[in-house]
Amino acid sequence: MSNNSTESFFKGLIVGALGGAIAGILLAPKSGEETREDIKKLAVDLKEKAVDTYEKARAEVEKKIEQVKKAGEKIDEGKYKRIVAEVVDEFKRDAKVTSSAAKQLGEQLSGDWEMVKREVAK
C-alpha cells in the first residue's frame, strides 16, 4: 500500500469524524485554551481510531484470504474485492464504522490488491 493512498484514507476518515465533533466542542461553554486542548485530543483519538479500524479490517481480510487458500481456491482480484466487501459489510453491520467510513475503508482495502497479489504469489 502506498503512503499517499493510506494517508489520504486516514485524512478523509478523520476529517469526516472531526466535523461534527468540533462543532460540539466549539459550542460548549469553555475557554479558548480548553477548547483548543479538547480539539487536539479529539484529533489524536480519531487518528488512532482510524488506524486501529483499518488494521482490524486488514487482519480480517488476511484471515479470510488464508481460509480461501486453505480451501484450495485461488485468489484473483474479483475474489479479493468480494472478501473486502464482506469484511466492510461486517464492520458496518456491527456499527464499528459509519456508512461513509465503510466506503472509504472499502476503497482503501480494495486499493491494496497489488500488494496482496504479490503476497499471495509467494
pLDDT of the chain along its 122 residues, tens only?
A: 455 666 667 666 667 676 666 666 666 677 777 777 877 777 777 778 888 888 889 899 999 988 988 888 888 889 999 999 999 898 888 877 778 788 888 888 888 888 888 877 76
Q: What is the chain's Cα-based Rg? A: 18
Contact 64, 87 (CB under 8 A): yes
Question: Looking at residue 1, what is its pLDDT?
Answer: 46
Can you tell me the distance from the alpha carbon of 92 to that of 9, in angstroms, rounded to the nearest whole number? 17
Contact 30, 38 (CB under 8 A): yes
Give residue 85's domain range.
3-121
26 CB-near residues (< 8 Å, 6+ apart): 35
| Domain count for the chain | 1
109 CB-near residues (< 8 Å, 6+ apart): 54, 57, 58, 61, 84, 87, 88
Contact 84, 109 (CB under 8 A): yes
